[in-house]
Amino acid sequence: MTEATFDKPFPALTPAQRYHLEVFGYVVIEETLSADEVGQLLEAVYRLKRGLCQLENPLADGARFNNAYLLKNVPNHHFIGNILESDPAITAYATHPRLVSMAEELMACEARIVEMNAHVNSRVPEDAKSGSPRYRFHRGTDIPFGGHVQGGLFHCNFVKTLTNLTDLSPEDGGTVVIAGSHKVDVPQDDLIELAYQDPSLIHQVVAPAGSTLLFSETLIHATGQIRSDKERVIIITGYGAPMFPYWDKGELSDDFREQIPEQLTTLFHGKAHWGRSPRYRTLAEAADARPFAMGDWNDRPTPDDQ
């Protein structure tokens, strides 16, 4: 049973995509964004990076540029945090009806945005020399706390939609994950060690620009290793259950808050309540294939408007 606050497809994933997500803890969906939408987001991220790089102190304790700041500021890696209101195209990405619904399907509840950031990174010279890459593997939540199973399907209360804005060939540093680790509750270091012993267990995102990696934050994952000369640009929204806080070291500005339409209240502010508006599907259910574009973030129709 779905209780939508704005019009979104449900289920958002095809049975085969949901099965892939179930088995591996992630699924990559190509063409979630059009070439034009990718272009708008790429420009927005580069504008932010330029603006931030002009600040004397662009880190969290310094000044902000369009409310964003740098979480990492080294020549080959700019990690830009708190970008939710930094550009209308970026806000549109975070509120994209299909992407929000994909997140809700994995969480099994209504979504609240908990973090929003972007990475612009390129090859680290020392990395290119190492034949067997080591990654900064991590999880965002643990399985007993973050996960649950209902109707035979795994769900997690913290998930991400990570979209690459540049093409990713195997040399271009796509996100790496330890396939299936999202529901194997044994010490994380043991899983990491066995994955290094059998690298076929490490799956890497290789996909054209405009593809979205949807994953459970119980899945062990990391930034991949760039071995090409290409810069990688990705944009990420983290979604949590509606009673979760926003944890991106940021506050939405008053000006932005005033523009939030009623049907997006939970998505931006969450809900101070235990009710999570459950969202479950069966594997047999076909995807709701209605087309949804990125559109304007503050002009999302309600289901009744349709």
Ligand X SMILES: O=C(O)CCC(=O)C(=O)O
Residue window 172-191: x/- pattern of binding to ligand X, with contact defined by CB under 6 A: ---x----------------
Residues 209-228 binding ligand X (CB under 6 A) are: 221-223
Q: Which is nearer to ligand X, 10 or 26 (CB)?
A: 26
| Dihedral angle sign, alpha carbons of residues 203, 208, 214, 218 | positive
Rounded to whole angstroms, the Cα distance separating 29 from 13 reads 9
Tell me the residue type at 39.
G
Q: Which is nearer to ligand X, 38 or 234 (CB)?
A: 234
**Do 166 and 214 contact (CB within 8 A), yes or no?**
no
Q: Considering the complex, what minimum distance in angstroms separates the CB of residue 71 from ligand X?
A: 10
Residue window 232-271: x/- pattern of binding to ligand X, with contact defined by CB under 6 A: --x-x-----------------------------------
Q: Which is nearer to ligand X, 17 or 164 (CB)?
A: 164
What are the start-end ranges of the E strands in 157-231?
Answer: 158-164, 176-178, 202-204, 211-216, 221-222
Binding-site size, ligand X (CB under 6 A):
8
Kindly write down the DSSP assignment for every residue of 240-286, as one continuous string: E-TTSPP-SS----HHHHHH--GGGHHHHH--SSS--------TTSP
- Using CB under 6 A, pick the residue from 96, 119, 203, 279 that binds ligand X: 119
Rounded to whole angstroms, the Cα distance separating 178 from 304 reads 42
70 binds ligand X (CB under 6 A): no
**Residues of this chain that bind ligand X (CB under 6 A):** 119, 160, 175, 221-223, 234, 236
